[in-house]
Structure 1
Amino acid sequence: MGSFSLLLILVLLNIVYIIGFLGAQALRKSRQHYFLGFNPGFLTISFREVKLTLGVYIPIIGLARIYCVDNSGRKHLFYPWQFSSTSVSKRLLLTYSGVLAMFVFGIILSTIAVYISKDQYIPKDEVIKYGIYPSHQAQTVGFLPGDKVIALNGKDYSDFAELVRPETILSEQTTYTVLRQGKELVLALPDVSKQSLQQHELFLTINSPFSVGNVLPESPAEKAGILSGDLILKVNGQSIKSFQEMNSHFESDDDGEVLLEIQRGNNSEQKLERIVTLSPPKKIGISINQMIEYKVRSYSFSESFKLGFPRFWSSIVVQFKIFGRMFGLLIGEERRTLSGPIDISAAFGSLNFSWFLSFTSIYIAFVISLNFLPLPKSALLEVMPLAYEAVKGKPLSYKSFRMIRRISIVLLSALIMWQLFSDIIKLL
């Protein structure tokens, strides 16, 4: 996901948040006039008793300014908890209006993403045909290359993605039933979820044959004369079946050179040998085409909603698990496995734009609700004055609120900087 796409997503979500906030103001029939952006104002829109004047609006965090307007001019936006004439329950709903808008937006997007996309997937038959290749973490659980996963949590499955989804890996009660040399075994994941987020590899992959896809210019593969479409059959005289198995041989190599046996094209008689010098990370500079038979399925709109909403909800569950760890709910050795957004995105792979936009809207809405990433206001922080008023029977002073907000910003900034620094260290 490129930086431009990420910026566009943040812009769209900022707009959705503000639409939700202003929509809630209109529904509560508030006589308010808002100014969005910077001078000059170009257009004034009225809905019920709410007026909105649009200026030079930059929908980016820190620049998305919104003000109240009265006879004396523009003023800083009042927080919902300051509307003392409104009941606490209505002010609570108003506080979360932007967050709710983003949640609804995420549900709609996830439904649309399922509906418009052709869902290409690896069927269970292919998993059984080739077996799996386990990551280092999966090997610690007991997986071996070639294991055939026949059930997930004691139930049948149809899509390989079900075996490696974040909510599956993060669950502490996930079990895999595998077929190994004619015997069925049940492998449980009691602790692997605490480690998987720090890995830059999928928990399980298909142990399938492959052909060479693209060959990078000036790469070791190009210098050795490897071409797109070649089949790599052996490494240092040992037969390999999958790309992961080839990489395993590369990692165990000592002298930095490997002898590859290659089949060129579909001619099984044309076999070549090439000596390849590995690059510093022990790679040869190729992409691959897995020789797997994918299937394609499409869904009706009602089916898309039924599938999109559970994926939406599972994303929220994943975030609860991740943020639970970020706040130190896991202690001791488990703290070493803590990962942030850089590491998480590397572990879970890339998403298309629709899914990434949907996931990000859910992610940021969740973050805002827990006083993270104000966009433009933080929901949980604004709930604190309402709770104080409900208990004490009198409003919290704005001076006290500002002090609480400053403390939270300092603590949040320190946490984010520490986590990003940790991710960067892991990448290096």
Structure 2
Amino acid sequence: METLIMVGQLLLGLSILVGVHEWGHMVAAKSFGMRVEKFSIGFPPKIWGKQIGETEYSIGAIPLGGFVKITGMIDESLDTKTLNAEPEPYEFRAKPAWQRLIVMMGGIIVNVVTGIIIFIGLALANGEAYIPKEELNEHGIVAYDLGEQLGFKTGDRVLAINGQDYDRFSDILSPDLLLGTDSYYTVLRNGKEIRVDMPNDFIDKFADKRNRVDVISPRIPFSIQSVVPGSSAAKAGLEAGDVIVAINGKDIKYFDQLSATLDSLKGQEIAFKTNRDNEIIDMEATVNDDGTLGFVAQYEIDYVTRKFGFTEAIGEGTYNAFAVVWLNIKGFQKMIAGDVDVRKSLSGPIKIATFFGGTWDWNNFWRIVGLLSMVLAFMNFLPIPALDGGHVVFLTWEIVTGRKPSDRFLENAQKVGMVILLSLMAFVIINDTISLF
């Protein structure tokens, strides 16, 4: 069922993004009097179609893209049968270069606008909740395996990032920092300030699915929120509001200490102490085979919640949308510099489906769709023939020099671009498949 939900979210998300992208091209073309022959979400074979006026609207069986067929334009269909005749007034090639440029930019512009609107909506609906630096450093961090490889130790207080103050816990492993160069932390450990350097290739380890655990997390005091009926915790007499303070004579203050201790005592009898209304009570229980007792923890940590007004949401949403583009640029720089492995950095449809997750969460769905809308705009703007960016380069050349590239050149460039795109698509799908195992 989880797989079906992931696939369903992927298909809906891609349909929305492809639809608005191709709609941007179509609206721009029609506004300049160009004939749009086809508008398709998905690639052939066609599973549904309807002719409305001069345009056939259809849905293709391969949901990994879409297209708009504009008369007189050399596109991915490589249909050149009309190019030997004089252009008709309604053809793409008959229009001024600036109009053709706007048509080619139409999809990118609409994707950017869509991404901004989504991020504004999320900011307005959800606001922002975060753990401030002061709350984090009251108890310090928990360092997991990857965090320890980075140089952190459980109990560290993170004082600064790259020598600068920071606001919140999420800043410590922000995408901007992971994609940076020569980043470092200043931490307080056992009363001494220590520098922890981040390797420039650390994002490779962070992106590896085998390391998909927390790097670090806040160290959190806890209490018992509720007890599962019939569980070991219930049989021992634990109640909501209790605080476990020791297990087998070992002091317990934080949830990570509890988890690690119980995990080391799976299936064993334990003696533990709880604080109930300032009274210490001795209890006994059997630890379950999964390293639990059967209760839900209440984490004692204070989040700062910030709500945005409409004007503030516009600024916040726009910033978050364009931050996605900036991070993509930095990611490309890292790949070019050889600091990250391309195989771990590029995601195809299989990996993207996992980003949506196996449960239908509309907030997460729209966050991923907004992110992908900005990524789609960025990728389409790359100067690769067959992408919008390739057309933009040729049209810009024509506007600047006054000389239009020949139809033969454009056709051959389109063929080269299609080979590049199909090769890239094959690479990411194979890479996604391999990463599953």
Which TM-score bucket, shorter chain as reference?
Answer: 0.7 to 0.9
User: Are 2:348 and 1:338 equivalent residues in the alignment?
Assistant: no
Q: 1:10 touches 1:60 (CA, 8 Å); kept in 2?
A: no
Q: What's the offset of the Cα at 1:344?
A: 8.6
Q: Which residue number corresponds to residue 313 of structure 1? A: 322
Q: Which runs of 5+ in 1 are unaligned?
A: 45-50, 71-75
Segment drifting more, 256-265 vs 85-94: 256-265
Matches within 5 A, 1:44-193: 55=57, 61=63, 66-67=68-69, 83-88=92-97, 90-191=99-200, 192-193=202-203
Choose from 189, 206, 231 the match for 1:196: 206
For 1:197, the aligned partner's letter is: A
> What is residue 10 of structure 1 aligned with on the other side?
14
Partner of 2:87: none
Q: How does 1:245-284 map to 2 (within 5 A)?
A: 245-249=257-261, 253=264, 259=270, 261=272, 263=274, 268-279=279-290
Contact 1:212 1:229 in 2 (8 A): yes
Q: Alignment partner for residue 412 of structure 2, among 389, 400, 408?
A: 400
Mapped pair 1:295 → 2:299: no
Asked if structure 2 preserves the Cα contact closer than 8 Å seen for 1:213 and 1:228, the reply is yes
Summarize the Cα distance change of 1:276–1:324 in structure 2 as closer, same or farther, 3 Å threshold: farther
Give the letter for the 1:182 counterpart. Answer: G
**Paired letter, 1:330:** G
Q: CA deviation at 1:127?
A: 0.7
Contact 2:187 2:195 in 1 (8 A): yes
Cα contact 2:39–2:68 (8 A) shared by 1: yes
Q: Which residue of 1 aligns with 2:33?
A: 30
Contact kept, 8 Å, 1:175 with 1:187, in 2: the verdict is yes
- TM-score, scaled to structure 1: 0.73
Per the TM alignment, residue 200 of structure 1 is displaced from its structure 2 partner at its CA by 1.0
Q: Does 1:361 align with 2:397?
A: no
Residues 299 and 60 of structure 1, relative CA distance in 2, 3 Å threshold: farther
The TM-score, its normalising length taken from structure 2, stands at 0.72
Give the drift of 1:329. 5.2
Give 3-state SS (helix, strand or coil) of 1:269's partner: strand
Instruction: Measure the CA separation in 2 of the matches of 1:211 and 1:346.
Output: 33
Distance 1:160 1:25, change over 3 A: same
Task: Work out the CA distance in 2 between the residues paired with 1:229 and 1:196.
Answer: 37
Superposed CA deviations along residues 192-234 of structure 1, whole A, max 9, x for unmatched, are 2332112212332101123466889999989999887665555
Number of residue pairs the alignment of both structures matches: 402
- How many percent identity over aligned positions? 24
Equivalents in 1 of 2:170, 2:248: separation in Å? 33
Q: Which amino acid aligns with 1:338?
A: K
Query: Which amino acid is the alignment partner of residue 352 of structure 1?
Result: N
| 1:352 counterpart = 2:355 | no
Query: What residue is the counterpart of 2:43 in the other structure?
Result: none
- CA distance 1:59–1:392, change in 2 (3 Å): same
Stretch of structure 1 that moved more, 60-69 or 289-298: 60-69
Q: 1:259 to 1:159 in 2, by over 3 A?
A: same
Q: How much has 1:25 moved relative to structure 2?
A: 1.3
| SS of structure 2 residue aligned to 1:61 | strand
* Residue type of the alignment partner of 2:338: L
Quick one: structure 1 residues 151 and 324, their matched pair in 2 at CA, closer, same or farther if it must change by over 3 Å?
closer
Which residue does the alignment assign to 1:207? 219
Q: What letter corresponds to residue 34 of structure 2 in structure 1?
A: R
Distance 1:224 1:25, change over 3 A: farther
- Consecutive unaligned residues of structure 2, counting only runs of 5 or more, are 41-47, 84-90
The alpha-carbon distance between structure 1 residues 359 and 183, as it changes in their structure 2 partners (threshold 3 A), is: same
Q: Which amino acid aligns with 1:196?
A: F
Q: Matches of residues 209-224 of structure 1 in structure 2 within 5 Å?
A: 209-211=221-223
- Which shifted more, 233-242 or 153-162? 233-242
How far apart, in 2, do the equivalents of 1:301 and 1:344 lie? Answer: 31
Retained in 1: the 8 A contact 2:273–2:280?
no
Q: Which amino acid aligns with 1:356?
A: I
> Relative to structure 1, is the Cα distance of residues 97 and 201 closer, same or farther in structure 2, using a 3 angstrom cutoff?
same
Distance 1:124 1:348 in 2: 29
| Structure-2 change in CA distance of 1:288 and 1:86 (3 Å) | farther
- 8 Å CA contact retained: 1:385, 1:396: no
Counterparts in 2 of 1:418 and 1:277: CA distance versus 1, 3 Å: same
Following the alignment from structure 1 to structure 2, what is the Cα–Cα distance between the partners of residues 285 and 347? Answer: 30
Instruction: Report the CA distance shift for 1:69/1:398 in structure 2 as closer, same or farther (over 3 A).
Output: closer
Match of 2:25 in 1: 21
Secondary structure in structure 1 of the residue aligned to 2:305? strand
Partners of 1:126 and 1:20 in 2: CA distance: 46
Match of 1:423 in 2: 435
Asked if the contact 1:212/1:228 (under 8 Å) is kept, the reply is: yes
Distance change (3 Å), C-alpha of 1:306 and 1:398: closer
